[in-house]
Amino acid sequence: RAADTIRLAVQKTGTFSWELATIRANGLDKEANLSLAVTELASTEAGKIAMRAGNADIMLSDWLWVSRERSLGAKLTFYPYSSALGAVMVPASSPIKTLADLRGRKLAVAGGPIDKSWLLLQARMKQDGIDLKSDATIVYGAPPLLAAKALDGEMDASLNFWNFCAQLEAKGFRRLAGIEDILPKLGAKGPVSAVGYVFDETWAAGHRDAVARFIAMTRKAKQLLVTSDAAWEKVAPLTGTTDAAMLKTYRDRYRDGIPRRSIDDEEADARVLYRVLAEVGGRDLVGPAPELDPGTFYHAVPGD
């Protein structure tokens, strides 16, 4: 029987390409009887274009966007990939000790006003009566640029994607708070995977078995990356650094982010956080739906 072909859109500098490298190196794709057609792309948004243009079956995005698309008519669906979220980083010697100290400071926010981590942080601070948007000076910008600016000392604090935080950490920055750490206060019962594999519902229905094998295969790859440092050796060249400390941070953070909860637990927490996000981000962010769209999570994987 010929292998099923799955077309993937992957950001070259993203962690998905680490996973794929592991899969290839260990022949997991052949084992799962899948043929992976990978399109490497240079930016995050390119995956969405590939999907919309019909050039990819699976790409990475978050449930927030999937739900929004569903409410607008595109029947996409989501399966957890990583629970790693951004973090607020400050220089080691910074006088900022708690999130509340961010008041009156210059805070860099990567990914713009609709970034999940940023919205969650705002919601958390609101609980303490702090409106960060007006109480602090917010600087939006491209993640790599803001990371460089943080290193420069132009920012008092910065909220960036986890991989950039890892870089800062390796350069001696202090982790003021990870966004995953504030989730419980917002009502989540455990780590929530914001990022996941996204694919079309109808396509998935037609390739139910292939999808299941795909997910099983990625689980194996993740497991390898958790257990085997040899597997990490293969990934190291893709991270763009040769610095041992930074590599270690990358590895630890990646391992921390691997989703381990049941899909129903994930969905329940996502539902809670969605309400929080909808309140902060408004209609612009979530679209017309006040609740997480019921079909957002993909449930047809055996073993969940």
Task: Give the footprint of another protein on this chain (CB under 8 A).
Answer: 11-13, 39-43, 45-46, 48-50, 52-56, 65, 68-69, 73-74, 111-114, 138-145, 147-149, 151-152, 154, 240, 284-285
Closest CA to 40 of 77, 7, 82: 7
Q: How far is the CB of 70 from another protein (least distance, A)?
A: 12
Two tokens, residue 59: 């790409």
- Which lies closer to another protein via its Cβ, residue 12 or residue 175? 12
Q: How far is the CB of 20 from another protein (least distance, A)?
A: 14
- Which lies closer to another protein via its Cβ, residue 63 or residue 268? 63
DSSP three-state, residue 64: helix
DSSP three-state, residue 16: helix
Q: How far is the CB of 52 from another protein (least distance, A)?
A: 5
Closest CA to 140 of 115, 104, 176: 115
Q: How far is the CB of 61 from another protein (least distance, A)?
A: 9
Q: How far is the CB of 97 from another protein (least distance, A)?
A: 25
- Which lies closer to another protein via its Cβ, residue 212 or residue 238? 238
Residue 73, Cβ density class (10 Å: 0-12 exposed, 13-18 middle, ≥19 buried): exposed
Closest CA to 164 of 84, 256, 106, 45: 84
- Which lies closer to another protein via its Cβ, residue 35 or residue 44? 44
Calculate the alpha carbon distances from 20 to 102, 158, 180, 220, 285 in Å.
39, 30, 25, 11, 31
- Which lies closer to another protein via its Cβ, residue 50 or residue 210? 50
- Which lies closer to another protein via its Cβ, residue 31 or residue 131? 131
Q: In degrees, to the nearest 5, what angle opens at C-alpha 65 toward C-alphas 141 and 78? A: 130
Residues 120, 183 contacting (CB under 8 angstroms): yes
- Which lies closer to another protein via its Cβ, residue 25 or residue 49? 49
Q: How far is the CB of 246 from another protein (least distance, A)?
A: 12
Q: How far is the CB of 144 from another protein (least distance, A)?
A: 4
Angle between the 244-257 and 162-170 helix axes, to the nearest 10 degrees? 140
- Which lies closer to another protein via its Cβ, residue 145 or residue 226? 145
Calculate the alpha carbon distances from 26 to 59, 99, 186 in Å.
21, 43, 40
Q: How far is the CB of 68 from another protein (least distance, A)?
A: 7
Residue 124, Cβ density class (10 Å: 0-12 exposed, 13-18 middle, ≥19 buried): buried
Residue 29 parent element (H or E): helix 28-31
